[in-house]
Amino acid sequence: MAGVQINQLHKKFGDVPVLKGVDLEIADGEFVSFLGPSGCGKTTLLRSIAGLERIDAGAVTLGARDITTLQPAKRDIAMVFQNYALYPHMSVYKNLSFGLSLNGVPRREIEERVQNAARILQITELLKRRPKQLSGGQRQRVAIGRAIVRDPKLFLLDEPLSNLDAGLRVTMRVELANLHKRLGVTMIYVTHDQVEAMTLSNRVVVLDKGKVAQFGTPLELFYAPENLFVAGFIGSPKMNFLKVDARTVGARQIEISGQSLGLPITVDMRSELKESSAGQHTLGVRPDNIEFVSEADAHVHGQVVLVERLGTESQVHLTLDDGQQFTVITRGTHPVVANDRVHLRFPAQHCHIFNPEGEAIPRALDAETRSLIDRQKGSQQATGSGEDQ
Amino acid sequence: MGTNPDSAAQRSRTLEKLTPYLFISPWILGFLAFTLGPLLFSLVMSFYDWPVVGERTFIGIENYEIMLTQDPLFWDSLWVTIKFGLFFVPFNIILGLLLAVLLNQRVIGSGIFRTIFYLPSVISGVALVTIWAWIYSHEYGILNFLLGLAGIEGPNWLGDPSWSLLAIVVASLWGLGGTMLILLTGLQSIPKELYEAAKISGVPAWARLLFITIPMLSPMLLFTFITSIIAAFQQLTIALLLTGGGPLESTYFFAMYIYDNAFKHFEMGFAAANSWVMFLIILALSLFVMKSSSAWVYYEGEMKNKENADG
């Protein structure tokens, strides 16, 4: 087992830069997801670690070994592909043992490793079948089994659940989490599904246009996004944004106001502000942090366009007076209907403020949230046994 | 008013079943008139003494008897054809596969190479033979000229019975563009992830070819195997124009034997019997290959019901 270090990794396809200087340090035994929209470079980054893409610059280290220029087979890794990539003409047993038998592993050891992987994944009865005779979930298990028998230092998983139906995806998600716990090996998981990333990972790498937008625990990404991209990408429905003017009013306080805001809001920041803020900033508020209030107490006003009733909650889509679209999540039985005029208030502790460059000015977190994030970080450190060797 | 509603419904059902056949009827008519008809007609002919001009007499299986017991040319030409096939079929497939594998690499200009290698397959047989006649010519042929540069005195390729068949094998392999194209299409339909998974598992390149490419390609290999056998048995143009069957009948193919019986000796009945023997040989070989295929051909869609997926 080993941690992974990536330094200044660059990759171009033709003239198009896909990865623009990626730096990452993944601890031994950690489960890390690469999350981002299509085309952000997450799969390319994974394939570069696997050695399936030749990189233009940078270095990849696994444990104490520089693997940047090694052949994929020499890297001590295993990879699970999105479409499973099972050899259709071979039995499940052959699929698992094929690579081993060509690498001079003794027959008895192959048998042992295959049976062991099959037991872990509960596919022992399927060993004689061909991939065509398996269901999607079973195929996925065989693909994972082919990775397990290699006994690698690093597992790479490229959107392994995206070809499964919704119900099976949830089951396999739990199985993957258990597998990681059981094997204790470092795993990197590529996905565009933030629920998968948030539930499976110790930490998540959010990628945007070939760069790391943020690398943190799932709750950090949600409660303390470092920039507009992460704030807008994590969480569903999306965070609402509003252009505002910001002004430093105390050592750790910023007051925001502006044409769109009827009343100013004073937000407590995490640490002392080094420079005073001025000019146009962006206010971000999550839909479920917005309150319906009376006209006098409101920060903004708008008209309801559509109410989606989801049972436990209602998603209210509205147009603010300045024409902006907004989403508010309220309780399932809230009586609001389309065309209602509504008044919204943004509680100060839920306001995210971003400077003109789109970077977050870290806000103060309440004790509960802070301890939750700390606990998640702690468990991440417990899983990853720190630095390798 | 005797119309029974049941029989009316039945009639409309019958019509419904007939509709698809009506749609393909032009093809069926063509097939009956131009393929199945002549085929059966030739079978009838084979039991006759059937000169082009003159009286036709029913002689039973005498044509077959003469062919098998009294005409050494039948056995000789069959043997030439089999020898040819033993060279042509494996080389056609192996070279076609190697070319396809090469052309499947992502290199600049692979499209141009594909065109170049396929070009001989679109050239007319006569032009092809003319080119090869120049290449092989004993006096002014480029092959012997090049061999001469290397200090080797080339044989009389088309005039020496020990070289002539080989010369024809090589010339006919020029048309392996078709085989190559079919195999290339097959190669391109193999998911590239299979190779990537194999690379990560440390499977060397030769094993990827042997254990992934060839099994995945086996349906196309089966197809080219059978069509190559048929092509070998039907080999006529190149030998007819290049050597005329000589020297010493070393390139006297079975198809040429049929051709001579029909259009030189005007023995239509005898030639028809020859053709039927050739047909039966090809049929038997094809059936044998098809039967053996279940052991070595992998079909993507193949799935026996009793072993069906249960989840």
Q: Which of A82, A132, A165 to mutate to test the interface with B (most CBs of B within 10 A)?
A: A132
A146 and B197: CB-CB below 8 Å?
yes
Q: What pLDDT, on the 0 to 100 scale, is given for residue A387?
A: 38
Mean pLDDT by 10 residues, chain B (311 residues): 67 86 92 92 88 82 85 88 92 92 83 84 83 84 84 79 84 85 92 92 90 92 92 85 78 88 86 91 92 82 42 34
Domains of chain A and any CATH numbers: 4-228 (3.40.50.300), 237-364 (2.40.50.140)
In a domain, B51, yes or no: no
| Structural domain span for residue B245 | 81-265
| Shortest CA distance from A89: residue in chain B | B298
Q: Which residues of B277-309 are buried (b: 16+ CB within 10 A; e: fewer)?
A: bbeebbeebeeeeeeebeeebbeeeeeeeeeeb
pLDDT of residue B160: 80
Q: How far apart are alpha carbons A54 and A44 in whole angstroms?
A: 10
Do strands A154-158 and A77-80 pair parallel, antiparallel, or not at all (unpaired)?
A: parallel
How many Cα atoms sit within 13 Å of B246 on the Cβ side? Answer: 6
Query: Are B236 and B260 within 8 A, CB to CB?
Result: no
Please report, for residues B165, B168, B170, B238, B273, the alpha-carbon distance to residue B162 in angstroms, rounded to integers and kept in the order given.
Answer: 7, 12, 14, 17, 30
**Tens digit of each residue's pLDDT (9 = 90 or more) over B116-132:** 888 888 888 788 888 88
Inter-chain contact A85–B197, Cβ cutoff 8 Å?
yes
Specify whether the CB–CB gap between A217 and A377 falls below 8 A: yes
Provide the CATH number for the domain around residue B111.
1.10.3720.10
Q: How far apart are CA A97 and CA A107, in angstroms?
A: 9
Rounded CA separation B262/B259 (Å): 5
Predicted local confidence at residue B3, as pLDDT:
54
pLDDT at A152: 92
First-residue to last-residue Cα distance in chain B? 58
B250 belongs to a structural domain: yes
Flag whether B232 is in a domain.
yes
Residue B295 lies in a domain: no
What is the tens place of the pLDDT at every residue in B243-271? 877 777 788 888 888 998 888 888 888 89
Show residues of chain A in contact with B191, CB under 8 Å.
83, 85
- For residues A281 and A361, what is the distance between their CA atoms, to the nearest angstrom? 10
A300: left (phi over 0), alpha (psi -120 to 50) or beta: beta
Chain A positions contacting chain B at CB under 8 Å are 50-52, 71-74, 77-79, 81, 83, 85, 87-89, 98-100, 102-103, 129-130, 132-135, 137-138, 146, 150
List, as one string, the DSSP characters of A283-313: EEE-GGG-EE--GGG-SEEEEEEEEEE-SSE
* Predicted local distance difference test score (pLDDT) of residue A333: 92
B57 domain residue, yes or no: no
Residues of B in contact with A83 (CB under 8 A): 191, 193
* pLDDT score, position B140: 81
How confident is the model over A249-290, as pLDDT tens digits?
A: 888 888 888 877 888 888 888 887 776 667 788 999 999 999
The pLDDT, as a whole number, for residue A137 is 87
From CA A64, how far away is CA A62, in angstroms rounded? 6
Domain count for chain B: 1
ipTM over 0.85: no
Q: Give pLDDT, residue A277.
A: 65
Q: Does B134 map to a domain?
A: yes
Peptide bond into A287 cis (omega under 30): no
B271 is a domain residue: no
- Tokens 């900033």 correspond to A281
| Rounded Cα–Cα distance for residues B296 and B287 (Å) | 15
Residues of chain A falling short of pLDDT 70: 1, 275-277, 380-389
In a domain, B61, yes or no: no
A327 C-beta neighbours (distance < 10 Å), count: 19
